Structure 1
Amino acid sequence: MLNVQRNKIKVHRFYRELFGRETTGLDLLAIVIGSVSLACLTLLFKWNADFSVIKKMVLTILALDIGGGVIANFTSGTNNYYAESLRKRYLFVLFHLVQPLLLIWIFPDELVAILGISLYTLACSIIVLRLKSPNNQRIVAVTLLLLSLILSTLLNYNDPLAQLIMQFFSIKLILAFSVHWTSINKE
């Protein structure tokens, strides 16, 4: 098991936004478990739902990305890759405007809740990114994430899966991505 954690795997250019320049077998395994778990839960909840096939496919792809992204953003490979450039970090956050828009298309009855959590999450992510100290990033991110989870509970989602996906979205962006975890590990 220790070799799986220590042995670095070079990542092909095409996958660097997902895994960084290098990763470990354990990191890849954890990312796959996170991706597949949320995707399977999504299929379990929505297999017989009154959605078009295309909406089910898009929702499953979003679940794969968000479930794996929560874990990937905590890994050294991904963390170091985005730490190289503040511009990359801001582009990553801005790119994540697309996911909530797709979720609103899939769950139109959840417009207010998804929009509220999305805007809060994206704003919090930028706030945490702007902090210089990784230790301050960690404390502020955990606090803002806690408030996001409380807000999510108060927003009266009709669909528990939409709520869960948005909670994972908040974890992925506020805590996992916006904190420079590798710097904390070095201190």
Structure 2
Amino acid sequence: MRRLSIHPHLHDVFGEEQPPVYLAAIFLFGIGVAIAFAVLAMPVLSALPSWRAVLALILVVDIAAGCVANFTPSTNDFYVARPRNRWIFIAIHVHVVVMALLLGTGVGPAVAVWAFTIAAAIAVNLLAGHSAQTFVGGLLLSVGLAGLPLLPDLSPALAGVFALFMLKVQFSFAVDHYRNVSS
């Protein structure tokens, strides 16, 4: 499969090279989810200053596109070779809290989702190189997804983005999907 070299400034997002079809899927999914979110959250978005609505939609694109990008071998391998970068990536992911603040809704649930997601990603990342990593990542993701409907005052649009955030950070990113592991 033909691969495109990725500019060094984007290695943390896409790795060092990607097939064009993967890049297209990443962008289409990210934009598609943002469009769906905009339609579902139109009453909230239309009441905001446009800069806040645009920033919230950019965060949605980043969350959704990141879910897919983090499953690619190139992005996975980039972080396997740079464990310190993986810890930094986990630490900087405050997207759902910032998004809730921009929207002026769902801040409590966003903080709960963020705290659970970061704790789960840390636990999963600590299992790097062990066969239990994928299982624990899947288990913690399942726990988080099962807990979403229990959060108060969470719109379906935010619930969907929060679910993608959990998938992106604690499973798609924190799990080394293309490894040889010990038991």
Answer whether TM exceeds 0.5 for this pair.
Answer: yes
Residues 103-139 of structure 1: CA distance to partner in whole angstroms, max 9, x if unpaired? Answer: 2312444122111111000010010001033531111
Q: Which residue of 2 aligns with 1:112?
A: 108
Match of 1:142, SS state, is helix
CA contact (8 A) 1:134 1:183 kept: no
1:101 deviation in Å? 2.8
CA contact (8 A) 2:5 2:17 kept: yes
Call closer, same or farther: CA 1:114–1:65 in 2, change over 3 Å. same
Runs of 4+ in 1 over 6 A off after TM superposition: none
- Of 29, 46, 50 in structure 2, the residue corresponding to residue 53 of structure 1 is 50
1:26 deviation in Å? 1.9
Match of 1:183, SS state, is coil
Q: Which residue of 1 aligns with 2:13?
A: 18
Separation (CA, whole Å) in 1 of partners of 2:150 and 2:42 = 27
Letter in 2 for 1:116: A
Query: Structure 1 unaligned runs (5+)?
Result: 1-5
- Of 155, 161, 164 in structure 1, the residue corresponding to residue 157 of structure 2 is 161
Letter in 1 for 2:13: L
Separation (CA, whole Å) in 2 of partners of 1:146 and 1:112 = 20
RMSD of Structure 2 on Structure 1 (CA) = 1.6
Q: Which residue of 2 aligns with 1:142?
A: 138
CA contact (8 A) 2:4 2:18 kept: yes
1:184 deviation in Å? 5.4
Q: Which residue of 1 aligns with 2:169?
A: 173
* TM-score of the aligned structures, taking structure 1 as reference length: 0.89
1:179 deviation in Å? 0.6
- Bigger mean CA deviation after superposition, 139-148 or 50-59: 50-59
Residues 74-122 of structure 1: CA distance to partner in whole angstroms, max 9, x if unpaired? Answer: 001111111111110000001102x133123124441221111110000
* TM-score of the aligned structures, taking structure 2 as reference length: 0.91
Query: Structure 2 unaligned runs (5+)?
Result: none
Q: Which residue of 1 aligns with 2:82?
A: 85
1:47 deviation in Å? 3.7
- Of 122, 127, 130 in structure 2, the residue corresponding to residue 126 of structure 1 is 122
CA contact (8 A) 2:79 2:85 kept: yes
Q: Which residue of 2 aligns with 1:3?
A: none
* More helix by percentage: 1
Q: Which residue of 2 aligns with 1:28?
A: 23
Residues 29-76 of structure 1: CA distance to partner in whole angstroms, max 9, x if unpaired? Answer: 110121111111122123443222112101110111011000000001
Give the length in aligned residue pairs. 179
CA contact (8 A) 2:48 2:103 kept: no
CA contact (8 A) 1:46 1:56 kept: no
Identical residues among aligned pairs (%): 23
CA contact (8 A) 2:90 2:118 kept: yes
Separation (CA, whole Å) in 1 of partners of 2:144 and 2:103 = 20
